[in-house]
Amino acid sequence: MRRTFYILLIAVFASELTVGVVNVILPLYFRSLQLNMTRLNLIFTLFELGFLFSMVFIGKLSDMIGRKHFVAFSLLLHSVVSFLNAGATKIYEFAILRMLRSVASVSDHVIAPAYVSDIFKDGKGMKLGFLHAFRRSGMAIGGMMGGVFLGLLGFQSAFYFTSALTFVIFLFLVTSAKEPPKQIVKVDIKRKLSPELLKLGIVSIIIWVGIRSLVPTIFPVYISEVFNQPPQIVGVIIGTGFLFFALFNAIGGKLADSIGVKNSSMVSMVVNALPLLLLFFAPNVIIASVLFLIIMAGHGIGNTAISTWALHLSRGHKKAQDYGTYRMISGIGAIPGLVISGFIADILGIRSVFLFGTAIFILSFILIKTTLRD
């Protein structure tokens, strides 16, 4: 099954690479069409809505039918959506395709972690850290590619490339990966959905509001417009940030196994809040970029620590369903995060969003400290 784990790492890398391309291209492309931040972020909420409504359903099906088929389907759907993106010309077409892509991304966020948890009994935090590291490395390189393609070759070429890549990985996974063995623990059959998992999801709503105060739309537009940087530079900065995010997912997994998921999560909130506050005062693109890298490191630590926490609280025979339930609840925060940050950027200026994000992460730290058990 270790071979299947390595294939899964390649699959989530390719899948997230397509998302990384989109996350750089669409904000810059839509801003070139004079779209304000409120409308831009509303379009990005379509991804979150599609994501929310499909996570529990797809997670439950994967518990019943198996993991491999859903991971394969997500790659195929990414390939089709990328191909259609290359021919899109209207804003509503991009918006619809973005919602379809959210369904494909459920596999990366719900099915793949459950897949890894099925394969390994011990050291799950570290293994999930590697999974998240590969996922976010794909997003990082996709972000770099998106900026370069947009600046030099046009966005169509990036979408054709990612369409071909995900289709090749789809074929490789179908022919080479294995379904993990069923690991049903009898005591789990009568166990109900954990109240602690629901509490973690509710706290994570607040965390996601803070995350969406920076990515995927605010920071690329901030670098492009406040510091007057071309798409290539924006792509490199965003991509490097997600490389930090990827690396610190692995570190977050190690911390989760050593100091505990609660302590690791609180560390991540501090690493998010302080540089986000300093970002409000950043005088140039170099300092802003360094602060962005630190924030993305905090995101990485928290991402693996909290996802490991959620999987520990999930039932063995309904692992993907429970984890999907957690992700659905926590992901609700992304919608107000996008809407509020876009509104603040248009009314008070884009830097003001960073103060809002700082307050959210301080609140998240307090909630984790006072309301959740390790």
CA torsion sign, 249 to 253 to 259 to 265?
Answer: positive
Residue 357 and residue 277 in contact, taking contact as beta carbons nearer than 8 Å: no
283 three-state secondary structure: coil
The span from the CA of 243 to the CA of 342, in Å, is 25
Residue 286 and residue 237 in contact, taking contact as beta carbons nearer than 8 Å: no
Q: What is the pLDDT of residue 15?
A: 93
Separation of first and last alpha carbons in the chain: 30
Q: Is 234 left (phi over 0), alpha (psi -120 to 50) or beta?
A: alpha
CA dihedral 161, 163, 164, 166 (to 10 degrees): 120
Q: What is the CA radius of gyration of the chain?
A: 19
Q: What is the pLDDT of residue 186?
A: 47
154 three-state secondary structure: coil
Q: What is the pLDDT of residue 183?
A: 55
The span from the CA of 267 to the CA of 70, in Å, is 34
The span from the CA of 86 to the CA of 6, in Å, is 30
The span from the CA of 52 to the CA of 105, in Å, is 11
The span from the CA of 202 to the CA of 331, in Å, is 10
Q: What is the pTM of this model?
A: 0.78
Residue 216 burial by Cβ neighbours in a 10 Å radius (0-12, 13-18, 19+) = buried
The span from the CA of 210 to the CA of 341, in Å, is 9
Token match 């899948």: residue? 15
Q: How far is CA 32 from the centre of its chain?
A: 25
User: Domains of the chain (ranges plus CATH)?
Assistant: 2-371 (1.20.1250.20)
For the chain, list residues with pLDDT below 70.
123, 182-191
Residues 6+ apart with CB under 8 A from 166: 14, 15, 18, 75, 76, 78, 79, 82
180 three-state secondary structure: coil
DSSP letter assigned to residue 1 = -
Query: What is the identity of the amino acid at 304?
Result: T
| CB-CB neighbours of 87 under 10 Å | 11
Q: What is the pLDDT of residue 195?
A: 92
The DSSP code sequence of 14-39 is HHHHHHHHHHHHHHHHHHHTT--HHH
